[in-house]
Amino acid sequence: MQPESISLSAVPVPMLLLDNETRVVGCNIPAQEALGKSARRLIGLQVSDIFSPKVEIENLFARLTPYSSVSDHQICILATGMPVSLHLGCHDAGISALFIPEAARAEVEQHAKRHEMAEAVARIALEMAHEVKNPLAALRGAAQWLAEQKDISVSNREAVAQMLLGVDRIRDRIDAFLQVGPRAQVAMEMTNIHALIQDVIVYQKGIHVYRVFDPSLPETLVHPARLRQAFENLWQNAVEAADCSIEWQTRMAPLVHLPGHSGQVMEIRITNDGRMVPQELRERLFDPYVTGKSRGSGLGLALVERVMVEHGGRVSVRSANGRTTMILHLPIKQLEVPLEEQGKE
């Protein structure tokens, strides 16, 4: 049973192992969390004791063969009624049953699309750096040389000054856009997330700031400067939108599983009590140049999205009942100890 335990622990979505009588003989942590039952209470149960309707489940097993897997998207968890997709497959010791809550599947697909957009924007930004910045620098150099000539007329000097201002504005816009571009591989550092949040909180007259921090959160491996940029953008957005309060909250997120990460996940929330995000903007809020503000570049949340992609995390928004919350899910990672160092004091 040991190899099965190892494979179960590596699966980041809820999974049950069944015997040939469709009884549970093993389960991973995500399955226990999704079903609200411990392994001790799940082992020995029939699948029909966990999922419904019974007829759909019986039909699913009737179609299962040793050579192919089967799926059904019309199943729900018996205790809660939550819809799930149930996927069955045969293995040497019995049957594997992987189930994905429909809400979670929709969210995963939405984040996957946003990550694809972030990667596309990154490629555009990188091309812009090569195609635009070099000739722009040459243009500025020529304008600067003209401005330094002693025999230039007053009117021409004013025209050159306007050229320099225009070039600098273009350069600033490009630099801002490049913030959502790809970053070179940089060394990550073990960082206290709470200290990073505290650094970006600046007193704002008329706004009360509440901190609800989980003191048990461990330090995690991140790029502090980039993550601080993301926090600063979220803080600035919250300040601009808030009526009178902003709340930062941190906690563990045991029910959240990030692609490519099998360990723990932390959740960071920043909530304000100001105006709602328009419904038509919510799905596109993290795209470049999309903003609900009358002023602003529309790149702040695109940068947050990019930083979360770099860290293997994700960001989402909830806006209802007079409160808007930005939710970050960040994988908790530790420094890898070289094999030669393991076992040393």
Per-residue confidence band for 226, with pLDDT thresholds at 50, 70 and 90: confident
Per-residue confidence band for 345, with pLDDT thresholds at 50, 70 and 90: very low
Strand segments (E) across 160-286? 189-191, 208-212, 220-222, 245-252, 265-272
Per-residue confidence band for 128, with pLDDT thresholds at 50, 70 and 90: low
d(CA 242, CA 208): 10
Per-residue confidence band for 331, with pLDDT thresholds at 50, 70 and 90: very high
pLDDT at 197: 95
SS3 state at 94? strand
d(CA 209, CA 128): 39
pLDDT at 292: 58
CB atoms within 10 A of CB 119: 13
**pTM for this entry:** 0.54
Q: Which carries the bigger pLDDT value, residue 72 or residue 27?
A: 27
Residue type present at position 94: G
d(CA 316, CA 327): 5
pLDDT at 66: 82
pLDDT at 82: 81
pLDDT at 5: 42
What does each C-alpha distance from 290 to 105, 128, 271, 302 come to in angstroms?
A: 25, 19, 20, 9
d(CA 68, CA 90): 8
Strand partners, 40: none
Average pLDDT over residues 199-226: 91
For 188, the enclosing helix (H) or strand (E) is none
Per-residue confidence band for 3, with pLDDT thresholds at 50, 70 and 90: very low
Average pLDDT over residues 132-142: 78
Average pLDDT over residues 141-163: 83
Q: Which carries the bigger pLDDT value, residue 333 or residue 277?
A: 333
Q: Are 288 and 302 in contact (CB under 8 A)?
A: yes
d(CA 27, CA 214): 28
Q: Are 221 and 334 in contact (CB under 8 A)?
A: yes
Q: Which carries the bigger pLDDT value, residue 297 or residue 253?
A: 253
The two three-digit tokens of residue 203, written as one number: 């007193």
pLDDT at 117: 64
Q: Mean pLDDT: which of 30-39, 133-142, 164-173, 297-306 is highest?
A: 30-39
Per-residue pLDDT tens digits for 181-200: 555 456 788 999 999 999 99
pLDDT at 105: 55
Q: Are 308 and 288 in contact (CB under 8 A)?
A: no
Average per-residue pLDDT for the chain: 80
Q: Which carries the bigger pLDDT value, residue 216 or residue 115?
A: 216
pLDDT at 45: 94
pLDDT at 18: 92
- Work out whether strand 265-272 and strand 245-252 pair parallel, antiparallel, or are unpaired: antiparallel
Q: Which carries the bigger pLDDT value, residue 271 or residue 256?
A: 271
Average pLDDT over residues 278-292: 69
Q: Which carries the bigger pLDDT value, residue 80 or residue 45?
A: 45
- Work out whether strand 208-212 and strand 245-252 pair parallel, antiparallel, or are unpaired: parallel
pLDDT at 305: 85
pLDDT at 72: 83
Closest CA to 277 of 226, 329, 322, 225: 322
Average pLDDT over residues 64-80: 83
Q: Which residues neighbour 144 within 8 Å (Cβ) at sequence distance 6 or greater?
A: 164
Q: Looking at residue 90, what DSSP letter applies?
A: E
Per-residue confidence band for 111, with pLDDT thresholds at 50, 70 and 90: low
For 50, the enclosing helix (H) or strand (E) is none
